[in-house]
A and B are shown apart, each in its own frame.
Chain A
Amino acid sequence: MATEVLTNGDAQAADWPDRYYHVDQILDRPGPRTDPSFMAGDGVKDFLRSQCKILVIGAGGLGCEILANLALSGFKDIHVIDMDTIDISNLNRQFLFRPKDVGKPKAIVAAEFIMNRVPGVKVTPYYGKIQDKDDDYYMQFNLVICGLDSVEARRWINATLVNLVDPENPESLKPLIDGGTEGFKGQARVILPTITSCYECSLDMLNKPTAFPICTIANTPRLPEHCIEWASVLEWPRVFQDKKLDTDDPEHIGWLYKTALARAKEFKIEGVTWSLTQGVVKNIIPAIASTNAIIAASCCNEAFKIATSSAAYLNNYFMLIGTDGVYSYTFEHEKREDCPVCGGEALDISISRDWTVDRLIEMLIEKQDIQIKKPSLSTATKQIYFQAPPQLEELTRPNLEKKVSELVEDGDHITVTASSLPFNLTLRVKYV
């Protein structure tokens, strides 16, 4: 996919007198808690407005807000990546988009909007995946802000920025600011790769996704959700075989709804609706403009403070709960010494000598602080089990029934890979 570069006049010429009257009150003098390294006045303004290059990942609910805030704060060289196109359900919060934009790429429409509204700001969109870009691309930025709804994409950018760090080159450390929201709740955090706790360090803070046991879905449905899962997980592949379910296709959702409704009727279960069907199969998370505004503002405020040193930045986690009053909690999330991304150490696991490879794989899938779906295992000398390609899977499948202790010595390392895992996980096995 092509990168479209749009320019928007000469950055300096667009700065009319008093344009930054508000922001300059902060940049012209230090506050009582400002670090002595702060270069008040022209030095910091020049860096912010002429040199600093910032990357925004996601042009959705948080991304739209982030782009507007950065532009008004004085960042002038902004890049944005998003692989999605605009859907009508985005319009209740993604305020740079209008009904006429439905179907167009978010990154491109958002970039154009910002450049029209805020003169002198250059926003360079990329309509595609973050995984399309290499280390050189990420190396060009001073800061990265993420407004994503995907755990997988966050893990990827987190691991990429941690790997980018070269102790010999201070420029290689790219602060990562990450925001997320759900309903009236949200969080913003600052990650200094290899120095502070990283995204991977906190994986166990994520809520476990609701998963219904397959026997409940197949045999003893009780809730409308069970009927919907039956329609999407069991009936769709049975009826349509290789045809892929597209949860964005209203016809596919319609079929699931109808099928789930029929099953619900058969079992006298109430509550299957179009909205619930869509919510279950797409795993929809409620989202509103106001929460996104708070979290995006928090992210941009930290970016502004880091870029200018005008005030101390968040160390390192801000959590907001707006359901019962306004409750927030600011704390330092601690680095995990055995973090597979930034800890550099192998993860110790203690298992029984009787455990089969299959049992170990099951344990890894269950583990909240690892979160993998289809792990492949190997040691320095052996292939234990590979999920793909099919020939290798077939070849290694007999190992599933074998005991791990027959294949791996006590204290040896197992390397775990998975397509959803943006790094190799090393386990040190100990038998108990």
Chain B
Amino acid sequence: MSRRPTLIAGARIVDPASGRDARGDILFADDILDVADAIEAPNAARIDGAGLCVMPGLIDMRVGIGEPGAEHRETFKSAGRAAAAGGVTTLVMTPGADPVIDVPSLVDFVLRRAPARAPVRILPAAALTRGLKGELMTEFGLLQEAGAVMFSNGDRSVVDSRVLRRALAYSTVFGALTAHRPEDPFLAAGGVMHEGELAARLGLPGVPAAAETIMAVRDLALAALTGARLMLDMLSSAATLEHLARAKKSGVNAVASVSVHHLTLNEQDVDGYRTFAKLSPPLRSEADRTALCDAVSGGVIDVIVSGHDPWPAENKRLPFDEAAFGATALETLLPAALQLHHNGAARLIDVVRAMTLRPAELLGLKQGRLVKGAPADLILVDLDAPYRLDSDLLLSKSKNSPFDEKLMQGRVMRTFVGGAGIFANEPCTDQSR
């Protein structure tokens, strides 16, 4: 039975696929039926979009979930709830579960289990190497056939260049996308924050930006050698961006992601030994942050991810060097990213593109765009709503947000997946679910 159509009327419609950023109406059931300046649909459920913004549901390419193996941190259910509230309608789960998602049966496990527990689409990324150990490549073909949408070595770089070269070369058979986090583990060893004056003053060991740049340059050379689709994952430094831009210009099949934290925070946020801002890669200088924003605006960086990495308080409320790296982020991805729009660092449509259309293109997904026939994965957003974040109110199981008590601007009012309303900031009047 087909769903009763919904009409969102009079909202600002932002759709990078069509380039549209203007007031209009959008009509959808399971799929998007029409987008126009004005739509007559007397039988549709009507939502007044005045003063609000409609955009494609966010596609977050980097979400850590504790299931299987660390359900105290996050489950499919809690991540799904948080994602829905954050306007994330599709998320790619990183393979660093326990066990590591490195065989087809575990991909199958995720794809069978997640839909019954989470209202959003959860897609597994499979491990690039067995056990994420960086030694032996995984079964790219069988994993992809099982449903893995991309390959990733999680937070660990594949140090052995020959292993990465072969994995990348082999990935080309299947046209697979490989995300690789560039960080020289020897240079980064022991470091807990950005290496610089602040780290020196705080007496904390640093991770130099060069740890990223060295590995990224190697990775780009291997992408050029193999012709593989490489995504430099979660970049943090300005120096790396120059190499990335040059490689892209010369035709290397490379793309890059950045976490929303690295666009909105810098090393100063860890001052006072604030472990909730202890991230890997570390938050870097203000100059790095602005360079990353420019790279998003200019398209050098393709994708903004949450880098969602939930940790309970017992792993975070520790002396700085003992605390876990990572931040919970599904619910703050959009409002944090909107800071780029609000402070003029990037156009709204470019910020939205990096969280919708570009991920969809890279993953080969039909959603992520507001065009006729696409799945009705979309969100209704109040771009300007101001509030102070109370991390206790986050729906994620773990509350380790670096934005706690910070002023945020922008709130998800409604979230739809395949036309079904799965989240409403106010009492939901949508009866379709």
Instruction: Decide whether A and B assemble into one complex.
Output: no
A residues near B (Cβ < 8 Å) are: none
B residues near A (Cβ < 8 Å) are: none
